[in-house]
Structure 1
Amino acid sequence: MLGSKGLTVVDVYQGWCGPCKPVVSLFQKMRIEVGLDFLHFALAEADCLDVLEKYRGRCEPTFLFYAIKDKALSDEDECFPHIKDDGEDENMVSSEKTCTLAIIKPDAVAHGKTDEIIMKIQEAGFDILTNEERTMTEAEMRLFYQHKAGEEAFEKLVHYMCSGPSHLLILTSTEGTEDAVTAWQTLMGPCDPNVARMEQPESLRAQYGTEMPFNAVHGSRDREDANRELALLFPSFKFSDKDTKASQGSEVEGAVGPPEALRFPEDMD
């Protein structure tokens, strides 16, 4: 990673230092602004790496910077890689890679597990394109879970998802790995935390979930599901051409409808 072109920032943190962990979200926002190819971010726990022994026991933030110049870039490109006068919304997020939606649910947020989960997501090789804390509205969740509207647990599920802040993340996998949707499903584990603890004890739901529906995290079931969920919760998100064609291939040509018309495949959430 230290050989990546651009600027790599290594956050040397202490395992016992709570304030060190929220820096992760700040750097992810900076990566989006500067460009994913120009700014890289890594975490290194000083207590676990002998080479970082001299940084142990410090209470102040410690950052190591590694810069490698890309000769193919002009000086102007190096200084201003993200400036484009194309009239696009500055808040718009886009990616050429396959993306998926991840939600850190209210129970995990309330238990203070957000930063731990985000660290595990990054350690698993995901790039976080955006991370937004948001309390869902009842209208959003009724539409999001409309495929469960006839089930007995529907009202409980909607109430739970609106009970407090969630963290909404757009994830993409690094190059050379399986697609983000499949990789995220694997990292989450089985929907039921009890089943997850038996079958995949290292999964996120096994570690942070308690019981259904309090299973800590949500993920899109497949690529079409991811596209629909992202379109609902992140209307400004721009899909890659590959994802757009894959989604259109399963729909009636020319059929376009409002968000209320989105349908989700049956899943266990």
Structure 2
Amino acid sequence: MSGKRKEIALQVNISTQELWEEMLSSKGLTVVDVYQGWCGPCKPVVSLFQKMRIEVGLDLLHFALAEADCLDVLEKYRGRCEPTFLFYAIKDEALSEEEERVSHGKDGGEDADVASSEKACTLAIIKPDAVGHGKTDEIIMKIQEAGFDILMSEERTMTEAEMRLFYQHRAGEEAFEKLVHHMCSGPSHLLILTRTEDTEDVATAWRALMGPCDPHVARREQPDSLRAQYGTEVPFNAVHGSRDAEDARRELALLFPSVTFADHVPEASLDPEEGVVLPSPEDVH
């Protein structure tokens, strides 16, 4: 039928060097799922990509697939058994001021500081149980009193697709479904944290403030910690934090895909042949 609109593919398949170079010239942010032929692309992330495309638009955000064995430029990623995503950002000088704000993910003057931050950053989440009990402002105040700077703050309800990808390293655990359900049960408050001092150890400092994962243990061993004060039981333990710098890189890229950090991705702005690899953490949160 001539009146039927042709559907645009969500992820472009890059199978030749020519297509790869064409991708590198695309204005905006391109997320490349580098997969192995024996296992195929990462399917759980597709619904998340679809949601992001609807929210941001096709002009600024692109998704692509590339089999590691098909391109010489991806040789170093061959044989990997964990999901690998590469991020390529090319600024369009003709972008309007409105599009600039969208691409940085935040209105106002602070977005430039976030996008070009040279400080070490980590992710903090005030979970739905604490948000639902009205403890967000109280917890944020304690975070600031502990010496953390908040680069970005956002409240939103996570999707199931986001949380399944976020906690994919725990998919084999008995409590996985309960954890995913809880994190999608209501609004969470997401924070990007840094510190004026000891910036290289911000993830460790944040985890120390949170306390042990189990609130019962936290109340016994670290009664002043956030989980001791606001958590009830696992997974209703009030807050989440990245395990270390690599874990923070993965989690921030997933939940804040349009924000870049100089300390996390120094090579991304210097070498178009390099991207950002998202490692799979080995620890629990």
The answer for the alignment partner of 1:90 in structure 2 is: 101
Give 1:266 shift.
Answer: 2.4
Aligned to 1:72: none
How far has the Cα of 1:183 moved from its partner? 1.1
| 1:56 alignment counterpart | none
Mapped contact 2:128–2:182 kept (Cα < 8 A): yes
RMSD of Structure 2 on Structure 1 (CA) = 2.3
Counterparts of residues 150-165 of structure 1 (less than 5 Å): 150-165=172-187
Matched with 1:244 is 265
Assess, with a 3 A threshold, how the Cα gap between structure 1 residues 104 and 155 changes in structure 2: closer, same or farther.
Answer: same
Identity percentage over the alignment? 76
1:171 matched to 2:171: no
- What secondary structure sits across from 1:194 in the alignment? helix
Q: How many residues align?
A: 175
- Structure 2: give runs of 5+ residues left out of the alignment: 1-92, 105-113
Encode CA deviations 1:42-85: one digit per residue, 9 max, x unaligned: xxxxxxxxxxxxxxxxxxxxxxxxxxxxxxxxxxxxxxxxxxx8
Contact 1:147 1:263 in 2 (8 A): no
Check whether the contact 2:246–2:279 (CA below 8 A) recurs between aligned residues.
no
C-alpha distance in structure 1 between counterparts of 2:150 and 2:234, whole Å = 26
Deviation (angstroms), 1:265: 1.0
Partner in structure 1 of residue 77 of structure 2: none
CA contact (8 A) 1:193 1:206 kept: yes
The structural deviation recorded for 1:224 is 0.6
Displacement of 1:200? 0.8
Structure 1 length normalisation: TM-score?
A: 0.60
Shift of 1:175: 3.1
Tell me how far 1:263 sits from its aligned partner: 4.3
| Aligned partner of 2:281 among 262, 265, 268 | 265
Structure 1 residues 179, 86: closer, same or farther in 2, change over 3 A? farther
TM-score by length of 2: 0.57
Q: How does 1:196-207 map to 2 (within 5 A)?
A: 196-207=218-229
